[in-house]
Structure 1
Amino acid sequence: LQDECYQVRQIFAQKLHLALVKLLLPLEYLAVFSLCAKDPVKERRAHARQCLLKNISIRREFINNNPLAHDKLVSLLPEYVVPYMIHLLAHDPDFTKPQDFEQLRDLKECLWFMLEVLMVQNENNSHAFLRKMVENISRPKDAQCPDDPKANEKLYIVCDVALFVIVNKSTACHLESPKDPVLPMVSLQDLINDKEYLISGLPPGPDQ
């Protein structure tokens, strides 16, 4: 989705979208669409947003129409894309300087690109669920490189930015979460972090 060629980005996004709406790919692949926030072509960003809306709608409808799906919420509930998105953005090759103003602004836009679609409706108090999820993600180490301080710092900074976005976009997020989110241990391990990395405010985006 970040290829220099417009046609390549378009074809890849369309194939990814079709596989996701048919539930042929795991939920984590949906996280890739967060990178579309950096696409320089406005039409591509708009198309990616429509893909997200469609995928999220299909997953919610599938859960509502299939009682047995409630046993597989971790793999179906759209909100569970957030841990994968955070891990993906923490390892984005463009994210090299965690305290750089421009990179933090790009990071914020990628997070909001996904979170805005997830937060269109506060279904079943989902805003509080998202806040609780990100708070939980901000405590473990990065399972991909648990002993790398730089990698863990980037993971925690992405979480701090995500919390900033959620809190600034929803007053309902401060309510009690309806359930405790289950985190994918494939990308996270060992609850240890209690440090807040972004003390100062974040750069405002076009939506603020």
Structure 2
Amino acid sequence: MKTRKAIFIGAAMIFSTMVAQAQSMKNMIKIGALAGASVPSNNAGAGAGLDLAYQNLVTPNFGLGIATGYQHHFGKDNEVGGTTLNNNDFGVVPVAALVRYYPKAEGIYIGTDLGYGVITGDADVASNAGVARPDGGFYLKPEVGYHNRNWNIFAHYSKVFTGDKGTVNVGNGSQKYNAGIIGVGLAYNIGLGLGR
């Protein structure tokens, strides 16, 4: 009799834990890392960063939320009009909305972050050019990847659109400012226990 009672209590505890975990994954924090190559590679050669996002599954297949983080872009020397520009490193802090579509509970997903990207770092694009770097611009980060309950593995293109700001003209050549990378990333999902 004691054994049956213990089994029943154990099964009830496991079931209630599974229900609570299933509910908690309706609202989650996503913590991730990304890296990639600058495209085009004008003033930077590569980028890497951390992502932080909150997501609410409005339906089992559709998520909305907010996203931020930090991306560090590594400046690289670039030959323009017979002069070598010593481009500075810079950072991007996105303030964005998050949209995700999950066709199945596990498998391929698509999504994007869109908002504003704040550009940080040295005041000038290059240490030897005297051209001010942009302060920011429209931010877009489309991604496609694989997801399960705990992990997202994805390919992404991350870009801050700055227009003509930060363009360096040297002689008969010019360098447009680039704050975009294409690469891969990994994110871990932490359920918040706010499901119904």
**Band of TM-score, shorter chain:** under 0.3
In proportion to residue count, which structure has more strand? 2
Structure number with bigger Rg: 2
Normalised to the residue count of structure 1, the TM-score between the two structures is 0.24
Q: 1 or 2 for the larger relative contact order (CA 8 Å, sep ≥6)?
A: 2
